[in-house]
């Protein structure tokens, strides 16, 4: 039941047409939906926080990130810098264009952490994404008479 409530809330937030927020880096305003802002963050300043559909409480999440940036803290290593330009240059040069995956402060903003309470997201990431059902006979009628493999080299 808890997972269903979380999924319903996530869907409601995804469909929120009243979302309006400024980019953390360029100050451009996005007012259609949160996916538009998160996709912009990924494409323009190349800052990746995850797929927009996997983020919960986007406003609060962005508030946390914005407050850290106002304090001139790198969002990956959380080192403090003397001004905005030095911080941006640090993040660019060091490749700190994402959040530190070991910082559990952000876990509450990611859907996966609510759906699999007994596992850490790193554990889930290592799992295979498919299920093999050995009892299925769907492929019994498939016969491959052609034993050769044709390959083309484009070099």
Domain boundaries, the chain: 2-124
The highest-confidence range among 6-10, 71-75, 110-114, 141-145, by mean pLDDT, is 71-75
Q: What is the overall mean pLDDT for the chain?
A: 84
Q: Say which DSSP state 110 is in.
A: B
Percent of the chain with pLDDT over 70: 74
Residue pair 56/109 in contact by the 8 Å Cβ criterion: yes
pLDDT at position 133: 60
Please give the pLDDT value at position 38: 93
Name all contacts of 108-111 with Cβ < 8 Å and 24+ positions apart.
108/56, 108/57, 109/55, 109/56, 109/57, 109/58, 109/60, 109/61, 109/64, 110/50, 110/54, 110/55, 110/56, 111/6, 111/7, 111/10, 111/53, 111/54, 111/55, 111/56
Residue 137 reports pLDDT greater than 60: yes
Specify the 3-state DSSP secondary structure of 65. helix
111 — pLDDT class (breaks 50, 70, 90): confident
| Residue predicted with more confidence, 3 or 87 | 87
pLDDT of res. 121: 55
pLDDT tens by residue, 20-79: 999 999 989 999 889 999 999 999 989 999 999 999 999 999 999 999 999 999 999 999
Give CA–CA dist 73/70, Å, rounded: 7
């Amino acid at each position: 039941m808890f997972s269903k409530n979380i999924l319903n809330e996530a869907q409601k937030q995804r469909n929120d047409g009243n979302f309006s927020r400024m980019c953390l880096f360029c100050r451009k305003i996005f007012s259609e939906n949160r996916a538009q802002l998160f996709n912009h963050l990924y494409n323009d300043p190349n800052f990746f926080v995850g797929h927009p559909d996997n983020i919960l409480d986007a406003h609060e999440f962005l508030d946390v990130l914005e407050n850290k940036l106002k304090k001139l803290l790198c969002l990956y290593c959380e080192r403090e810098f003397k001004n905005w330009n030095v911080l941006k240059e640090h993040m660019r040069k060091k490749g700190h264009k994402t959040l530190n995956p070991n910082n559990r402060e952000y876990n509450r903003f990611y859907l996966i952490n609510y759906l699999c309470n007994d596992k850490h997201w790193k554990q889930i990431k290592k799992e295979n994404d498919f299920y093999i059902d050995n009892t299925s006979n769907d492929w019994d009628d498939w016969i491959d008479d052609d034993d050769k493999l044709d390959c083309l080299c484009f070099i």
